[in-house]
Each structure stands twice: as C-alpha cells, then as structure tokens.
Amino acid sequence: MNQYLFQVESDSEGLRLDQFLVSELEPYSRSFIQKCIKEQKVLVNELTQKSRYTVKEGDMISVEIPEPEKPDIKPENISLNVVYEDESLIVVNKPQNMVVHPSAGHWEGTLVNALLYHCKGNLSGINGIIRPGIVHRIDKDTSGLLVVAKTDHAHRCLAAQLAEHSMHRCYEAVVRGVINEEEITIDAPIGRHPTHRKKMAVVKEGKPAVTHIQVLRRYPGHTKIRAKLETGRTHQIRVHMAYIGYPIVGDDLYSRPEKKFNLLGQALHACELGFVHPENGQWMQFQAPVPEKFQQLLESLE
C-alpha cells in the first residue's frame, strides 16, 4: 500500500478534493482518485469526505493507494538512435510516435522496452520497473533528445539538475501565426485541465511554468521558434504556445487539426540537451537535427 500525506496550501484552496488530488498524484486519473475517495482510502483531517468536498488551506489529506500489479516489461530489439553512451548514462534521439515508458495501452514498443534490450537491463532502478532510468520525458509525438540513467547515482545527479533548472533543454517548433516580437518569456502556471483529463492548461492553481521563446524565422502565416525550458511541466511548450495564441502545427490536442502538412504529430523537436556529467563533472551538450517530416514542413513553408 502506498501512503501519501498532503497539506493544502493557500493557492489550492477552493479546489474539489478529487481535483486537488489529481494535481498532486499525477499520473493517476480523476476516475481512479474518485474510486479511492468512495472506498474511504482518502481522509481529510482524519474524516472521510466526498469527491466534491472543497479543500481549505491547512487541510491535512491522507491517501492510501493499493500497490498496482507489477506488469512484465519485456526487453525488445527496437532500433535506437544513440547519440552518446557510457557506463553511467545514455543519450538517445527519440523518434515521433514512440512512448517513453510503458503505461495502460502501451506495454510494448516503448523507449524503455528498447533500452532494456540495448542496455541489457543495466538501468537505474530509482523509478521502478515501469520507468527504469527515466529522468525526464518527452511526449509520444515529440521527437528529440533524452538522457537516461544507467546507475542510481547518475539518476540522482541528473534529477537534481533537472529540479534546480540547470539542465539545458531547447526545442525547435513551428507555430501557427506570425510572432512579431523577437523574444517572449511565458510565465504562466500549468495544471490539469479542469474538465479534459488528457489535457493540461494554464490554471491559477497550477505549478509554476516558464518558457523562453526566440523567433528563428517567419513565414506567411507561420513562425519557426526556439523554446528554452526553465521548468518542465507536462505538455509545457504546447500549452504555453496555445495559451498565447500561437499553437504548434500538428498539435491536434491543443489546436484544430491541420492535415495538409502530412505530419506524424506536432512540429516540436528537442534539439539541444546539456548537463553536467554525474561522474567527471564535465559539461556535456548534444544536438539533434529535426526529423525528415519536420524538415519537409519547413521546405513547404518557403
């Protein structure tokens, strides 16, 4: 049984109990949280409450979540684009249409399945059997660079850099609309969408999120941008660009579909990744060119 204890802070006051817990217990779904509340596995100030209970500042909320059945995550001989590898870590250039780690509906064909085969199981165990070695993630339909830890020591060091915002992560994207400014900083909190479970949104009670945008090239009706992450919230660049009115081309979740460009997903690519090596303390920085479909999009905009 996994046990959690939360104290409600002022910026979360007024949320429904289930909504508050979904924001704190990602990636558990709202329906799963509501089931736990109904089964009295959630206590507010040592009392049971309903999902619609409105949380107040200072409330102490305890949650018991049963241990999930451990799935059998199998190594798979899937081709990987390895950018760098040593005994501590591996940097890969993930293609679009590949999920990073197994989850409901995606138990095979993930980056983790491929890494288990490639690394012969030598991955950090900090994140358990479903996410071994995974320090950070990018979306299924986003391509680009990821660093994966082979040892627990490397995992802790890389995770610390991620938490203190010293890891360098830059993306290239094509957005709808022409951005007039040369640079924009978007500072807007992101949390779970209040009604759409699969979406994130800029919400008052969300977690701090900062994205720095630089215009690289303007086209008629579109703009190529460079996005530097200061924080790393789920769907951060996609949410922020849609929020300011320049959604990413091909992002059907946060914008209307655009089929004319024949993309595999959103035109978003993790092009640069930099960090301090956990063992020798040296700064390491990697670059990855945009994939073929992304390049074809740029050529079609010329």
Of 11, 59, 72, 139, which residue is the catalytic one?
A: 139
Contacts of 27 (CB under 8 A, 6+ apart): 103
Q: Is 139 considered catalytic here?
A: yes
Where do we find the tokens 């059997």? 129
| Cβ 185 vs Cβ 212: under 8 Å | yes
Tokens of 257: 């579909």
Helix, strand or coil, per DSSP, at residue 145: strand
Distance between CA atoms of 238 and 11, rounded to whole angstroms?
Answer: 24
Distance between CA atoms of 31 and 123, rounded to whole angstroms?
Answer: 32
What are residue 192's DSSP bridge partners? Answer: 200
Neighbours of 194 (CB within 10 A): 14
Q: Which residues are catalytic?
A: 139
